[in-house]
């Protein structure tokens, strides 16, 4: 597997979160209840921060199974909030782990961290 990070070129100008996905979440809001989008995004940020730490630890320990599990979980969270680029980066890392590979994981985790920073900035503007 190469060290090239898929989806990293030319994506900087696009939105980090899919407005269609966020719109569908907003449709689930109930009158008089807390904003579901705010709750989901807050939970996503907290969980993603932890998952990225776990990814880095798994890469440092050359633990492909840990890498696969954490990447899979983060990929699911990214899908739930419409963070498609993050979802794709996690898919690559998950596939690496499933293949028993950890070489190149650090570069992918760095790209995940950069994309997560972009997501957090967009969330801050939304909320």
Domains and CATH numbers, the chain: 19-26+34-126 (1.20.120)
Helices 84-98 & 105-126 angle (0-180, nearest 10): 160
What is the distance between the alpha carbons of residues 98 and 95, in angstroms, rounded to a whole number? 5
What is the distance between the alpha carbons of residues 61 and 25, in angstroms, rounded to a whole number? 37
Six token digits for residue 91? 């898919």
Six token digits for residue 68? 């696969």
Neighbour tally for 64: CB within 10 Å: 19
Closest CA to 59 of 25, 93, 82: 93
Query: Are 108 and 92 a contacting pair, CB within 8 Å?
Result: yes
> pTM score, two decimals?
0.86
Tens-digit pLDDT string for the chain (127 aa)? 333 334 444 445 689 999 999 999 999 989 988 889 999 999 999 999 999 999 999 999 999 999 999 999 999 999 999 999 999 999 999 999 999 999 999 999 999 999 999 999 999 998 8
């Amino acid at each position: 597997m190469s060290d090239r990070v898929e989806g990293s070129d030319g994506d900087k100008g696009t939105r980090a979160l899919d407005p269609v996905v966020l719109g569908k979440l907003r449709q689930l809001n109930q009158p008089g209840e807390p904003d579901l989008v705010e709750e989901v995004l807050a939970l996503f940020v907290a969980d993603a921060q932890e998952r990225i730490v776990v990814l880095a630890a798994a890469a440092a320990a050359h633990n492909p199974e840990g890498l696969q599990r954490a990447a899979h979980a983060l990929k699911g969270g990214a899908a739930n909030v419409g963070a498609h680029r993050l979802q794709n980066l996690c898919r690559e890392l998950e596939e690496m782990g499933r293949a028993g590979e950890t070489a190149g994981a650090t570069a992918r985790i760095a790209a995940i961290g950069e994309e997560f920073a972009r997501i957090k900035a967009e969330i801050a503007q939304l909320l």
